[in-house]
Amino acid sequence: MKKKAVNVTQPDNLNLSTLNIEIEEVDWHKWQRLINICAEMFDAPTMIINRVTPEGIEKFLTSQTCNTQLNSNQFNMDHNKFCKDVITQGQRLYVKDIREDCRYQKEEMPYLSYLGLPITWPDGSIFGSLSVLDTQTTDYPEEYIDALSVIKEVIDSDLRHLYKEDQLLKMSYTDPLTQIYNRRGLIDLLQSTQDLARRLKRQLILIYFDLDKFKTANDKYGHDMGDKLLNLFAMNLKKNSRSCDLVARWGGDEFIVIIHAEDTQSINIYIDRMNQHLADQTYLPEIHFSYGYAVIKPDSSSTLAQLLSTADENMYRNKQLKRTDHKK
């Protein structure tokens, strides 16, 4: 589905936690139809679904009847005190006549009546609000307000599905021990990472890590300590990577990182930082690792299996070299 265009504003003093779930998947055409019908029923010039984002409140959908004046910059979310109140208080608000309400009568707004309900994610956090605005004073019958609640429930229910899908997807992509991507997550996300790099004409580097003598560490310190070491290693990979990099546990004591890097010099920097981070920690037994890499040029058509094979050979040579160095 096409990405929905949004209009983001940054209200002051609005500090709400927001869920980072993409909502492109939701059938917002259905939401559009619902608010169009509802606006007709209320005979209101405007119905709006607002959404809370980390940047502020955005106008997500407006009814087709939307009055151009209300849709203009004059109707700025920063100044929409009603919407802010519904969102921050998480409850219904009905103001029949702004001029009669001491909380709002000083506000300069291009309408006289407001009815709004919060829209919520299943974890209780606020998605946004569903509002009916009118330039006239209103006195809606209870049945109309009930109908608006039903529409809110339909939207809440769509969000519930979306939330569950997101949870399932996250679970299926995440390694339960280390909370980084698992093999499936890496395979699925590699394509989009490669597409992005191709568009930016940037190269990627796949670094393949294998912990040294991890079996010995498990035998010596126990499996629980082994788990802690795997966790520590994963945490350091995450710390050492940028948000656009992919960090995954390939299986057992093997990890893969795919970084956006202009040259192979970046690998040395990455590895030095890893070694430094691991050396700085003193509360767990020491861990060492070997690594190999494969460069993914923007126009590369290599498969993941070919890249892994290159990185694995490279890593194996490094491991052998280390062993001979130790024997010297």
- List of residues contacting ligand GTP (CB under 6 A): 177, 210-216, 218, 223, 226-227, 230, 252-253
Nearest distance, CB of residue 289 and ligand GTP, angstroms: 9
Nearest distance, CB of residue 76 and ligand GTP, angstroms: 53
Q: Which is nearer to ligand GTP, 215 or 297 (CB)?
A: 215
Nearest distance, CB of residue 321 and ligand GTP, angstroms: 13
Q: Which residue is at the shortest CB distance from ligand GTP?
A: 226
Q: Which is nearer to ligand GTP, 216 or 282 (CB)?
A: 216
Nearest distance, CB of residue 140 and ligand GTP, angstroms: 59
Nearest distance, CB of residue 171 and ligand GTP, angstroms: 17
Q: Which is nearer to ligand GTP, 121 or 214 (CB)?
A: 214
66: its two tokens: 């939307």
Q: Which is nearer to ligand GTP, 67 or 290 (CB)?
A: 290
Q: Which is nearer to ligand GTP, 3 or 327 (CB)?
A: 327
Which whole-number Å values give the CA distances from 269 to 52, 130, 273, in the listed order? 39, 50, 6
Nearest distance, CB of residue 287 and ligand GTP, angstroms: 10
Nearest distance, CB of residue 176 and ligand GTP, angstroms: 9
Q: Which is nearer to ligand GTP, 52 or 211 (CB)?
A: 211
Strand order in the sheet with 246-251: 246-251, 254-260, 204-211, 289-296
Q: Which is nearer to ligand GTP, 204 or 315 (CB)?
A: 315
d(CA 260, CA 236): 17
Number of neighbouring beta carbons within 10 Å of residue 150: 11
277: its two tokens: 């981070």
**167: Cβ–Cβ under 8 A, 6 or more apart, which residues?**
none
Phi and psi torsions of 46, nearest 5°: -145, 135
